[in-house]
Every structure is written in C-alpha cells, then in structure tokens.
Structure 1
C-alpha cells in the first residue's frame, strides 16, 4: 500500500566535484546561480527566483558523486513520521531527525535509497529572500527536477512510490529496449524526479526552470556563445510538455534549461506510455538534434562513487 504523501517539493541537489573552483565558476557565472554562504571547498548556490536557501550545493572532494537529493516536508511532525516509517520498513537511516546545520537551518534527516543514494527530508528551513525574475533575464527561477540513472529502475521506482508516495506521471518506452524512463511527481508539477534506465546509478541531469520561452532561448543562446558544450536541444518534450536544452558542466554532469513544465490535475491525470522512437515524443518542435545512442550515452555520466556513503556535511 502506498504511504501517505508527506514530502511537498524538491529543494536542492548536492554535488561533490574534484575541481571545485572550475565548477563554482560555471554555476555562479555562466549558469546564472548566486553563490551564498560559501566557505573553502563548500558552496551553496541559490536561484534568484526561488525561496529555497540554495538549489545546488558544491563540495570539493576526490571523487565525483551526488552528495544528496533534498526534499521538503510541511512540518517537523511529518519529518518524524517519515523517519519512523522508513526505519520500520528497514530503510537505512544516516541519522535520526535533528536540527540541520546548513544555511536556513530547519529540521530533518537523511537516509539511503535502494541503490545507496543519500536522500534528505527537511522542514522549517528559513525562506530565502528572493525576487521575481524580470522579462529578458535568462537565469534560473528555480530547480525544476532531478533525473537519476538507475541500474534497477523498476526497483527504484517501487522504492520511491512505496516510501515517499511518488506518483507516476508518464513513461517513455522504446520498441527494442522496453521501458526507459519514468516521470515521477510529488505535487502538481509533472515531475520532480525521473528515473532513467542506465548502466549504473548516477546523475542523469538536473533541470532549472527559466521565466518563459524568451528567457529560455536567451539562456540557451548565452551558453552557446560562451562555448558550453550542448548535447541536445533546443526542443520541446511531449512528456511534461517542457522545453529543453541540455549542456555539460565542467565535470561532465548534464544540466538543463527548461520552462513551461506541465502542472497536472492530480485527481484526473492518467499516465501515458510514450514511444521514444517517435521523433515527436522526444521533440515536438523538431528543432533539436536527433536523439540517438551517442547523445544518450553523454547523460549516463560516471558511476556514482558515493553509494551507501553519507557525505561528510
């Protein structure tokens, strides 16, 4: 039986990287985030339009990895309830719920998912002073969604449905390869997470919402002019109906500019199964370079070296 949904939204994705300075320069300069509360070897990057204290955290480390993916909860009671349910179900907690020592404080805990990624659940984090992104500003408004590669995507989908009450929005399939990607939601946004079939657990991509089509295109063009490697786009997906431009950060993580992700009526929505071999499924506009095995492999990323090892901070 599916658990009651106690998480409310996606907060941030935390990455460990060997070349910290280069990565920080990319995200705080070219990509358009704002570094705040940063220290030696640790940087918290906020989106100007988001109330979250930060949407990306960078940590200097020997090994490249996802440090954690963070989700919000409505209150401390829900945090405690979730921690209790996970522990009762045999999920390994990194620690019991406690006061958070990260910017904005709050109350939360961390645990390992079925493949060993660290996940954080938190409530009562202070709201960051943010602003409306203005017309023509080609910087991220918020973190839209995170997509993970999984060597056991069916098991990963089942884990997030059972323990965190994620709901399936849509599925991508291919006639030769079967089901390939599952779009999962925790609120009315079409997806806050997606799970891609991959050779190993790793980050597939992190996606950032821009103000509108014009700002999205301006941002895409700004990155191209800056010489950032584009791997796919610009275009518009069918699942989620959102625009996409995928780039590589200096450490080979895929990051996306997007806008206009669908907001669903959860009471009436029925998941679709889309055939990925149909070109309109991957790009309704027909403007993106063709999706093929070479493009897909760029988002497999390096195997995550942080599985079942909690980040030090």
Structure 2
C-alpha cells in the first residue's frame, strides 16, 4: 500500500477585496459556519467536518493565500520538511508551533508555481454534527483545483515532492493533456490542475451529504442570485456530481457529491477524451463545455505567487 506523508486536504485560504460581502455569502447562502473572526479575517467550518475550519477569508487584494494539508504526526512533519529541503523546495517558514486559529505544528512552502502550501498536525479539531436529511449545506471541503500555464510541470511538482498520484487526466483528441486529477489518499482527487492562460484558482469544491442535498443546495444558491456557471451534471473522471457558481469575488465554487474512492494498488489512470460529451457530463443535463464556459474559471491572474500572506 502506498504510504504518503500528506494525509488529506484541510482547508483553502482566500484573500478577497470585498470581505464583508464574501463572508456574508459563504455564511448566509453557501452554508458554512463562522467559528472564529477578527478584523478582516474569518474562519469558516463545515458542520459535518471535524476540521476546525475548511475556508479562511482575509480582507486584501484578491489571491489564493494558501492551501492547508494535514500530516499525521510531528515525526512525519519533520520527515516531510527534511525531504523538501533535500529537494531544494523554497520554504516560507520551518516547522514550528502555529499561532493561528486552531494552532498545531507545521511549516509552509511555495509550490513550483509560487502558491503557498501549509502542512500541519496536532491542531484542535471540532465536534462535527450529522447533516440532516435534505439539509442543503456542505459536509466538508472536497477538493481544490488550480489553473496552470504549464499543466504538466505543475502536476509533476506534486508527484515528485509530495508523492501525490495522478488518478485520471482529461485530454484533447490529439492526446494533449488538459487536466490532471491528483490524490494523496483513496479519494479520487484532493487537488487537480487545469490548463489555463495563467496561474490562478480554477475552483473550490464542497462536498454535500448526498444527491438530494446537492440538488437542493444548487437551487438555494440560484435563488440567492448567484450565477450558475455550469451544471447540474455528473463528471466522468471522479464520477462526482457538479454544480458550479461564481462567488461575489468572481471565484468559481462547486457543490459536489459522491466523489469516487480508488484503490492505490489496483487503480489504473484513465485518459478521458474531452471531445466525448460524456467525459464532462455523463447525464447530459449540463450545457456542453465550450470556450465560453471554460473562460469563467480562468479567473484573475494570481498576484500572490511567491509572496507569503501575512497570516
């Protein structure tokens, strides 16, 4: 069985210029719970997750602040830090006691494109509650997707340095790779990388309890006035449902459910042809993928690359 030092995706942190509007949307419409707040900083949890928070918002110019991953122990933190040092990965800070909300012990680095990644262990968890039947709120953070101007280089960085594995890929009819789905545990993907014109956030995905909650959630967000970018439908890679919306800052965010689990030893990665309509949507309920749809998730150029956030 494959043993990795990174256990799972914990949270995403975004900087947004209109902080109050963004926080209001995620709390009062998207269905997250604010568990800690201070001036210009908000930590939002999913009710069914033991993670202390799954989304952090900060008042600042728009950017991805960081992606947070969990590591099982302090020994594994140091083993991972030693590995990354030996591979000349650029550190933001060394392993240390973390002073932010929920604490813990860990370190931060820049990935190959300059995004900040945090690896932590020993942080305070929260007591989750069971999502009620038909309750249309997220159960957890599902996955995080980046745009990259150099798709294969970006994906290979996660394979080489963090031991992620490519589960599946989307390709053009001529074989050109357009997207890679990467896993660090049996979940089909915790992150993915999409080919784009620049480095940026492609989308954040939030897992719902089931199909009923997912559909009711999609309707709830439509009634909030947010625009649905694409969906509802069901992808081929990962076999998960999708409904994509734009948040007030212009980031693409997704409600999903039923993302597949894979067996590390037996799973064979697929190369799904994007010209096959069932690759993008097995059900045929979503609009056909087009340049106009794809452009919505190119997002603004991330100006925070190789610049560590202040918190």
TM-score w.r.t. the length of structure 2 is: 0.98
2:86 matched to 1:60?
Answer: no
1:268-298: CA deviation from partner (whole Å, max 9, x where unpaired): 0000000011111100000011110000000
Structure 2 residue corresponding to 1:255, chosen from 253, 256, 265: 253
Matches within 5 A, 1:227-306: 227-306=225-304
| Partner in structure 2 of residue 43 of structure 1 | 42
1:67-121: CA deviation from partner (whole Å, max 9, x where unpaired): 0001100001111111111111111100110011122211010000000000000
1:160-206: CA deviation from partner (whole Å, max 9, x where unpaired): 00110000100001126821000000000000000001111110000
| Partner in structure 2 of residue 132 of structure 1 | 130
Matches within 5 A, 1:49-128: 49-61=48-60, 63-128=61-126
Moved over 4 A (4+): none
SS of 2:301's partner is coil
Q: Which runs of 5+ in 2 are unaligned?
A: none
Separation of aligned partners in 2, 1:295 and 1:6: 36
SS of 2:127's partner is coil
Separation of aligned partners in 1, 2:149 and 2:155: 11
Separation of aligned partners in 2, 1:268 and 1:134: 35
TM-score w.r.t. the length of structure 1 is: 0.97
Separation of aligned partners in 1, 2:11 and 2:116: 12
| Partner in structure 1 of residue 182 of structure 2 | 184
> 1:4: Cα distance to partner?
5.6
SS of 2:118's partner is strand
SS of 1:95's partner is strand
| Partner in structure 2 of residue 225 of structure 1 | 223
Separation of aligned partners in 2, 1:120 and 1:35: 21
Separation of aligned partners in 2, 1:127 and 1:95: 23
- CA RMSD, Structure 1 to Structure 2 (Å): 1.1
Aligned residues: 310
